[in-house]
Amino acid sequence: GAVVSQHPSWVICKSGTSVKIECRSLDFQATTMFWYRQFPKQSLMLMATSNEGSKATYEQGVEKDKFLINHASLTLSTLTVTSAHPEDSSFYICSARAPAGMSYNEQFFGPGTRLTVL
């Protein structure tokens, strides 16, 4: 149980285009999801916290107009990278907060999405 999927697993796009990444909790409802960014050989950096039915909370330094997050249902959150540029190329990982009855701090991570902007 507690499986999180991401789609697509990798994407290549041209500079200036927008890319949407989906994060789904497959077997549980996730009121809170998180989006991370990871550069090669670096740690995970939290970009934003996504709560179902409300606006996402962005970390300091993350452009909310560039990284649009929507959490329209209890099983789906999306991250849209708008007007992507080569410096947005990175590994994007989502996670979902553990459902009720499990550790309150535990997060289940998706497999990640590799974005390459040409």
Partner 1 sequence: QQQVKQSPQSLIVQKGGISIINCAYENTAFDYFPWYQQFPGKGPALLIAIRPDVSEKKEGRFTISFNKSAKQFSLHIMDSQPGDSATYFCAVTSFGNEKLTFGTGTRLTIIP
Applying CB under 8 A, which residues contact partner 1? 4, 6, 32, 34, 41-44, 46, 49, 91, 93, 95, 97, 103-112, 114
The closest of 44, 40, 21, 19 to 107, measured between CA atoms, is 44
Helix (H, G, I), strand (E, B) or coil at 70: strand
Q: E strands along the chain, which residues?
A: 4-7, 10-13, 19-25, 32-38, 45-51, 57-58, 67-73, 76-81, 90-97, 107-109, 113-117
Taking the complex as a whole, the smallest distance from the CB of residue 115 to partner 1 amounts, in Å, to: 13
Complex with partner 1: residue 7 or 82, whichever CB lies closer: 7
Complex with partner 1: residue 75 or 112, whichever CB lies closer: 112
Taking the complex as a whole, the smallest distance from the CB of residue 114 to partner 1 amounts, in Å, to: 7
Sheet with strand 19-25: strands edge to edge: 4-7, 19-25, 76-81, 67-73
Taking the complex as a whole, the smallest distance from the CB of residue 62 to partner 1 amounts, in Å, to: 13
Complex with partner 1: residue 40 or 86, whichever CB lies closer: 40
Taking the complex as a whole, the smallest distance from the CB of residue 76 to partner 1 amounts, in Å, to: 17
Complex with partner 1: residue 20 or 109, whichever CB lies closer: 109
